């Protein structure tokens, strides 16, 4: 843990202006979430920046949440005031949106392709059942059946 530096509000505002307007995440040259001591309180820079952006102190029980899910980021554009609960809910929501099934690249030989067609058209198996049997994704089965 590095030393916590004292920072004045004026210095924070200067830094804020420097960080503002970037589209990308902005980081300070620190290995952890930037913390500062301001007016005798230990505070994260994200919180300071958010209070500058809002023009007021954060409400009690609220935290500076990151739209970008990057706690070290200090880009004011990426910060919003939320409850701790919202913070985790928001992260989960985004996690879900970002979730994509991993592609399972797997080649099937012509014998297997014939078998897939047979199972589907003759046996009446569902695509998901066939996909499971061949350990491939259902979209691949779908593609094979279109051919």
**Residue carrying the six token digits 């593609």:** 143
Bridging pattern class, strands 41-44 and 35-38: antiparallel
Q: Which residues bind Zn ion (CB under 5 A)?
A: 25, 68, 70, 73, 75, 78
Q: Least distance in Å: CB of 90 to Zn ion? A: 13
Nearer to Zn ion among residue 24 and residue 123 (C-beta): 24
What CA–CA distance (Å, rounded) separates 46 from 73?
Answer: 7
CB 28 within 8 A of CB 34: yes
Q: Least distance in Å: CB of 22 to Zn ion? A: 9
Q: Least distance in Å: CB of 137 to Zn ion? A: 33
What CA–CA distance (Å, rounded) separates 128 from 136?
Answer: 9
Nearer to Zn ion among residue 51 and residue 75 (C-beta): 75
Nearer to Zn ion among residue 76 and residue 137 (C-beta): 76
């Amino acid at each position: 843990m590095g030393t916590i530096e004292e920072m004045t509000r004026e210095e924070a505002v200067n830094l804020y202006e420097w960080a503002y307007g970037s589209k990308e995440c902005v980081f300070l040259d620190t290995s952890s979430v930037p913390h500062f001591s301001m007016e005798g309180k230990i505070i994260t820079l994200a919180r300071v920046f958010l209070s500058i952006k809002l023009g007021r102190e954060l409400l009690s029980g609220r935290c500076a949440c990151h739209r970008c899910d990057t706690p070290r980021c200090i880009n004011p554009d990426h910060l919003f005031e939320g409850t701790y609960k919202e913070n985790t809910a928001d992260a989960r929501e985004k996690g879900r949106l970002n979730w994509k099934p991993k592609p399972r690249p797997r080649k099937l030989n012509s014998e297997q392709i014939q078998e897939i067609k047979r199972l589907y058209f003759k046996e009446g198996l569902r695509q998901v059942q066939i996909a499971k049997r061949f350990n491939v994704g259902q979209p691949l089965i779908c593609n094979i059946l279109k051919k």
